[in-house]
Amino acid sequence: MTIDHCDARFKTLFEPVAIGPVTAPNRFYQVPHASGATNASPRVRAGLRAVKAEGGWGVICTGACSIHPSCDDAPLPFATMWDDDDIRAHALMTDAVHEHGALAGVELFHGGGGVLNRQTRLPALTPSGKGWSSNHSVFMSPGRPRAMDAADLKDLVHWQAAAAKRAKQAGFDIIYVYAGMGYLPHEFMLPDYNERTDGYGGSMENRVRIIREMLEATRDAVGDGIAVALRISLEELLTRPGTVMETEAHEAVSLLSPYTDLFDVKMDSSPTDCGPSRFVPEASHERMAGFVKSCTDKPVVGVGRFTSPDTMVSQVRRGVLDFIGAARPSIADPFLPNKIREGREDEIRECIGCNMCIASWHEGVLVRCTQNPSFGEEWRRGWHPEKVKPAGSTDRVLIVGGGPAGLECALTLGRRGYDVAIADAGSEMGGRVLFESGLPGLSAWRRVIDYRLGQLKVMPNVELYSESALDAEQILEFGFERVVLATGATWTPALFTKMEIAGEELDHPNVYTPSDLAAGAKPEGPVIVLDCDFHVMGGVLAEKIALSGQAVTYVSPAGGASAWTINANEQIFVHQRLHDLGVPIRTLERVNGFDGATATVADMLTDRETQLPCKSLVIVGLRRQNSDLHDALMERTADWGDAGIRTVERTGDALSPGAIAHAVFYGRATAEAMDGPKFLTFKRDGAFHTPPERNGNAMIAAMVD
């Protein structure tokens, strides 16, 4: 790999940087992030990390990796470093990462009161016995933690050291102490949470003592050749005046700086750390990273959903940070560094900030990405973000529908070498994204179209036809061997029942769906937006209608606005925005009826009905596949032979309505399966298990170690 084509402005991004005893080959640092791949799927995990090393990231880290069974984050996915089988599982990743010349880091963690030990059933440990309150369903539990005694503190340091030794054996170059996001070492730093009166509570020096001991124990355990890193959250401490320095955050950084080789700067909570682009712009962490950098001579990693190389260089040059940290941009484009290095910045598949990735962790499953459908599928489906297998035949493919599914399908088939024609009824390609990216705050979603169209337009084997609505007859006349229907889905005006099932469709001229609004309908106020979809659409339409000057009320059977988006760190911002716009939020309610002047709203728990004045009702609920064209072609199967058609299949929302991420994924899967393997088949991964007679009882060994 040469740097010859790299724009001179960006060369600083490819300078090696020392992290204590090890040296990163460049400034691109994939910070620890959840992947959903645990030690039970080590090959999947190695695959998704290694592809980023291949794409030029200089440092690749694991997600949170528990040091002991008293840190059990189930049902959320997490890695473990508890026994020798865990060493083998992680070694797959470190070997794969090293093959591409990158450093491998492990984010050792103890979650304290932030994990609930639902599987191991060990008591949760905290500085003072206070629960880490959260009403997010996966964090709620009637279990309460206990206060750590002196023996627990010794154990914690010992577990960190034992895990660090195993991490060294697994081949890691950088070993973390994780003092962020409400996990145990962070809990010690927070005065509201740490009420200890011994040497671990009170002054800032006392409150960072456990972190210092964990850093020292890590270094002692692994010796000289391995870097020790500290991941730290300082938002809250930066608001607290210090006793000897300006703030407690200043004191914490200066007290800990001598003991770490690197600061990885994190915000205090998931929404502020990893906010959706709708509400949080690129480079939003600059103040925090820059603050840490100004207090230490150790290298600093900062994140900020960076996709612009100019922003990255600017932060390095202005001394905000040393490493361009990334989770999401590295998921959306594992080859981002190499593309900059090779002068191909315009080919970067930019993260759109939709947070479908982080939502997968909250749902307890393997990570998925709207922009990069291959992410997580490297090993189990053999997909790659940049490479595809060659075409398996000379069949020509007609794709009907140029939304995200059709475009992704065309892109993969085009790269594979198939002759592809893609036809869309609209004046522009892009399907649903054309409307959705025009909604308040969602302009970054347009990148889904821009990236794909940019690539497709220069492919000699791909023809794009807009303003081309096709019917079955025209498709038969087209005479291509393969037909893919990516015709999308349509929102219906179905009301939801007490059982939360889509029921009767409301037929009234003042009832609208998102499909009607996309076609240009303008509901007259007062408007009710009924959200039975729970994703982004209901909340953002209420926002749009309010911004247009109409009175609007948001109603949903769920317990909060845009309820599912709590998984995407978005819900808190939706509530704030609707509140700021004066939009009443009525939760745990459904709409039972509407007559053009009044809506009948019913409480989900008591069934008590209320009449609300309402001229227009916008129903955001059931979406149905657009299947007319498919049905028409199925009725003509007898004519396929003469027309030369071999297969007709559906993809994207026309196959199964979902988020854009689902549509893109199906588009890729359809293209991959054009000539086998069968649609959506995959290999199953499995954990390593040493027979107990050779390993002893690993769990108990780890606990008493």
638 CB contacts (<8 Å, ≥6 apart)?
A: none
- Secondary-structure percent of the chain, ordered helix, strand, coil, rounded to 5: 35, 20, 45
Q: How far is CA 354 from its chain centroid?
A: 8
- Tell whether residue 404 is a contact of ligand ADP (CB under 6 A): yes
Binding region for ligand SF4 (CB under 6 A) out of 4-12, 72-80, 345-353, 680-688: 345-353
SS3 303: coil
The residues in 308-337 that bind ligand ADP, with binding defined as CB under 6 A, are: none
SS3 496: strand
- Tell whether residue 476 is a contact of ligand ADP (CB under 6 A): no
Give the Cα-Cα-Cα angle 389, 391, 396 (nearest 5 degrees).
Answer: 145
- Tell whether residue 357 is a contact of ligand SF4 (CB under 6 A): yes
Say if residues 279 and 355 touch (Cβ distance below 8 Å): no
Burial group, residue 139, by CB count within 10 angstroms (0-12, 13-18, 19+) = middle
Q: Pick between residue 325 and residue 353 the one whose CB is nearest to ligand SF4.
A: 353
Q: Which of 183, 259, 512, 554 is catalytic?
A: 183
273 CB contacts (<8 Å, ≥6 apart)?
A: 181, 233, 266, 267, 285, 303
Report in angstroms the alpha-carbon separations of 75 from 138, 169, 362, 365, 575: 7, 28, 9, 10, 27
Minimum distance of ligand SF4 from residue 351's CB (angstroms) = 3
Binding region for ligand SF4 (CB under 6 A) out of 25-33, 115-123, 363-371, 451-459: 363-371
* Tokens at 629, concatenated: 């064209």
- Tell whether residue 148 is a contact of ligand SF4 (CB under 6 A): no
The DSSP symbol for 122 reads P
Binding region for ligand ADP (CB under 6 A) out of 61-69, 75-83, 400-408, 611-619: 400-408
Burial letters for 567-599: b for 16+ Cβ neighbours within 10 Å, e otherwise? bbbbbbbbbebbeeeebebbeebbbebbeeeeb
- Residue 654's binding partner, choosing from ligand ADP, ligand SF4, none, with beta-carbon cut-off 5 to 8 A by kind? ligand ADP
- Tell whether residue 303 is a contact of ligand SF4 (CB under 6 A): no
Say if residues 632 and 341 touch (Cβ distance below 8 Å): no
User: What string marks each residue from 414 to 443 as x (binds ligand ADP by CB under 6 A) or -?
Assistant: ---------xxxx----xx-----------
Q: What is the DSSP code string of 522-538?
A: -PPSSEEEEESS-SHHH
- Residue 304's binding partner, choosing from ligand ADP, ligand SF4, none, with beta-carbon cut-off 5 to 8 A by kind? none
The DSSP symbol for 692 reads H
- Tell whether residue 356 is a contact of ligand SF4 (CB under 6 A): yes
- Residue 355's binding partner, choosing from ligand ADP, ligand SF4, none, with beta-carbon cut-off 5 to 8 A by kind? ligand SF4
Binding region for ligand SF4 (CB under 6 A) out of 66-74, 215-223, 366-374, 417-425: 366-374
Q: Pick between residue 226 and residue 356 the one whose CB is nearest to ligand SF4.
A: 356
Positive or negative, the CA dihedral 435, 438, 439, 443 is positive
Say if residues 518 and 606 touch (Cβ distance below 8 Å): no
Q: How far apart are CA 686 and CA 66, in angstroms?
A: 19
Minimum distance of ligand ADP from residue 388's CB (angstroms) = 19
In terms of Cα–Cα distance, which of 15, 32, 97 is closest to 313? 15
For ligand ADP, which residue of 226, 486, 532, 702 counts as binding (CB under 6 A)?
Answer: 486
Minimum distance of ligand ADP from residue 655's CB (angstroms) = 8
Binding region for ligand SF4 (CB under 6 A) out of 27-35, 328-336, 558-566, 615-623: 328-336
- Tell whether residue 653 is a contact of ligand ADP (CB under 6 A): yes
Binding region for ligand SF4 (CB under 6 A) out of 258-266, 350-358, 624-632, 645-653: 350-358
The DSSP symbol for 560 reads S
The residues in 80-139 that bind ligand ADP, with binding defined as CB under 6 A, are: none
Q: Pick between residue 30 and residue 126 the one whose CB is nearest to ligand SF4.
A: 30
- Tell whether residue 401 is a contact of ligand ADP (CB under 6 A): yes
Greatest extent of the chain over all pairs of C-alpha atoms, in Å: 86
- Whether the ω angle into residue 557 lies within 30 degrees of 0, i.e. cis, is no
For ligand SF4, which residue of 56, 334, 353, 441 counts as binding (CB under 6 A)?
Answer: 353
Minimum distance of ligand ADP from residue 126's CB (angstroms) = 45
Q: Is residue 183 annotated as a catalytic residue, yes or no? A: yes
Say if residues 428 and 465 touch (Cβ distance below 8 Å): no
Q: Pick between residue 207 and residue 278 the one whose CB is nearest to ligand SF4.
A: 278
Count the alpha carbons within 13 Å of 258 in the hemisphere toward its beta carbon: 6
* Tokens at 69, concatenated: 């069974």
The residues in 580-639 that bind ligand ADP, with binding defined as CB under 6 A, are: 626, 629
- Residue 353's binding partner, choosing from ligand SF4, ligand ADP, none, with beta-carbon cut-off 5 to 8 A by kind? ligand SF4
- Tell whether residue 558 is a contact of ligand SF4 (CB under 6 A): no
Binding region for ligand SF4 (CB under 6 A) out of 59-67, 254-262, 369-377, 378-386: 369-377
- Tell whether residue 355 is a contact of ligand SF4 (CB under 6 A): yes
- Residue 405's binding partner, choosing from ligand ADP, ligand SF4, none, with beta-carbon cut-off 5 to 8 A by kind? ligand ADP
Q: Pick between residue 260 and residue 625 the one whose CB is nearest to ligand ADP.
A: 625
- Tell whether residue 515 is a contact of ligand ADP (CB under 6 A): no
For ligand SF4, which residue of 328, 452, 577, 668 counts as binding (CB under 6 A)?
Answer: 328
332 CB contacts (<8 Å, ≥6 apart)?
A: 307, 349, 350, 351, 352, 369, 370, 371, 372
Residues in the site for ligand ADP, rule: CB under 6 A? 400-406, 423-426, 431-432, 468-470, 486-488, 626, 629, 652-654, 663
Residues in the site for ligand SF4, rule: CB under 6 A? 328, 331-332, 351-357, 369-371
What residues act catalytically?
183
